[in-house]
Every structure is written in structure tokens, then in C-alpha cells.
Structure 1
Amino acid sequence: MPLTQEQREDFLAGTHPASVAVDDRGGRGPLNVPIWYAYRPGGAIRAVTGRDSRKAHLLAAAGRCSFLAQRVEPTYRYVSAEGPVTLRTATAGDLEEVAGRYLPADVLATYVDNTFRSYGPEGLVLVELLPEHWLSADIGAN
């Protein structure tokens, strides 16, 4: 059964396994990789990745991507979104917003510090997907 807009936004506001897929433009299939994401109802889907990563280069070149978040325990539920992306240098606050949904509070600051130390001040980008097209379902719901 398809989800309503409110159900879809409530689901995305939760913490779920997610992936992003982007056209490879090199004769290969789309790159499809797992990501941590943040979402506020009505806003963009946000993720942080390395500036020099294959994912960042492909997202910048394609200007669009597809995103999928899912829940596997009964009932199986998913939300998929597709639309344009923007990239900009990520801040510590951006990384805290995304990683803070997946990491316990007692390790978050260390994770952010270590990540910025590893990548450098310009080494991470914030990816924002503004959903234009949605697919969603709760398989098993009446």
C-alpha cells in the first residue's frame, strides 16, 4: 500500500538503512552505495561524503540521484526519492546532524573530530537531494 505524504515524511525522519544511486556515465551501471542521511519533513535529504570520492564526483557530474530508505522488519516499508542534488563544503555541524542519527552521543564528537582530521577542512561535501519524484510502500499493510 502506498504511503501518504505524512507517513513518508515521518518514516524518513526516522533512522533507517539507506542508499543513494547515481548514473556512472562511464558505461557501467549506476553507482549504488549505502549512506547515512538526515531529513526534516518538507526539506532536503542530506548526506556527507568525501569530496574526492567516486560518489561525490558522480553526483556533481549527474546533478541528480535516487535515494532509498527501508525498514526490513514486518511490515516491510520503503521510501524512494529522486531529484536534483547540490553539493557544498560540509561543516562540522552538517556531519554532526547526519552522523548523530546513527552514532551514540558519547562517540559522536570523537567521530566528527577524527573525520575532519582525516579529510581536512575542505575534504567533505554536504549533498542535498531535493525530492521531485517519490515511490513508497508498506508491504503487508492493509
Structure 2
Amino acid sequence: MALTREERETFLAEPHIAAFAVDGEPGRAPLSVPIWYQYAPGGDVWIMTGLDSRKNRRIRAAGRFSLMVDRVEPTIRYVSVEGPVLDTVPATEKDLRELAARYLPAEKVDGYVAFASANHGEQVIVTMRPERWVSSDLGSV
């Protein structure tokens, strides 16, 4: 059964790890990898990635991407969202801290931010406007 707008937006706002997908290079399948994201109901989605990463190069070429999040308990539920890129801006430590705090226990955030700042290189925030939604709750099987 399809989710209501409120159900799908609430579900997407939960801290799931998303399956990110973007058009691949000619002769290659779409690029699909797990990724952290940020979203608040009614707003835009943003991800953080390396400035020189394959993800960012493919996003720039395609101008859009999709995210899919799912769970299997207490019911089998998923939400997929796709849309155009609105903006790409340099990421700040504040952005990194916000994203890390969404996924990690509070006592791990400082260590992760220090590690990521030292090892991940220049990062960007890519913002996407949700344009197409696909969602379902299959209940418990």
C-alpha cells in the first residue's frame, strides 16, 4: 500500500542509510552506493560528497539523482525520491557535524568529524528537490 505524503516524508526524515543512485558513464550501469543524507519533511534533501568524487562528477553531468531508503521491521517499508539538483556548495564543519550527529552516538561525533576532516578531502553539499516519490508499506510478511 502506498504511503501518504506525511508518512513518506516522516519516513524519509528518519536517519536511514540511503541507496544513492545517479546515471553512470556511457557503457556503465548507474552509480549506486550507500550514503548518509539529511531531510526535514516538506524540505529539500542534501548529501555530502567529495568535490572530486565520482558521485559529484556524475551528479554534475546528470543534474539529478535519487535516494531510496527502506526497513524490514516492524513492517517492510520503503521510500524512493528523485529530483533535480538545486545547488552545490562547499561543505562546512557545521554541515559535517550535523550529518554525523544524525547517524552516530553523541560520544562518537567529535572523533568522526576529526577523522573525516583530516582524511576525506574537500567536501560539497549537494541539495536536491524531491520531485518524484515512490513508496510502499508491505506490512509484516
TM-score when normalising by structure 2: 0.92
Whichever residue aligns with residue 7 of structure 2, its letter is Q
Question: Match of 2:89?
Answer: 88
Question: Match of 1:36?
Answer: 36
Query: 1:8-62, CA deviations, whole angstroms, 9 ceiling, x for partnerless residues?
Result: 1111111113111000132111000000111111111111111111111111111
The correspondence of residues 1-142 of structure 1 with structure 2, limited to 5 A, is 1-85=1-85, 86-120=87-121, 123-140=122-139
Gaps of 5+ in 1: none
Mapped to 1, the partners of 2:100 and 2:56 lie a distance apart of: 18
Whichever residue aligns with residue 115 of structure 2, its letter is N
Runs of 4+ with >3 A deviation: none
8 Å CA contact retained: 1:78, 1:137: yes
Whichever residue aligns with residue 49 of structure 1, its letter is T
Whichever residue aligns with residue 62 of structure 1, its letter is A
Q: How many residues align?
A: 139
Mapped to 1, the partners of 2:72 and 2:59 lie a distance apart of: 27
The share of aligned pairs that are identical, in percent, is 53
Q: Following TM superposition, by how much is the alpha carbon of 1:69 offset from its aligned partner in structure 2, in angstroms?
A: 0.8
Gaps of 5+ in 2: none
Q: Following TM superposition, by how much is the alpha carbon of 1:101 offset from its aligned partner in structure 2, in angstroms?
A: 1.2
8 Å CA contact retained: 1:46, 1:98: no
Mapped to 2, the partners of 1:27 and 1:17 lie a distance apart of: 28
Mapped to 2, the partners of 1:116 and 1:60 lie a distance apart of: 23
Question: What's the C-alpha RMSD, in Å, of the aligned pairs?
Answer: 1.4
Mapped to 2, the partners of 1:53 and 1:72 lie a distance apart of: 31
TM-score when normalising by structure 1: 0.91
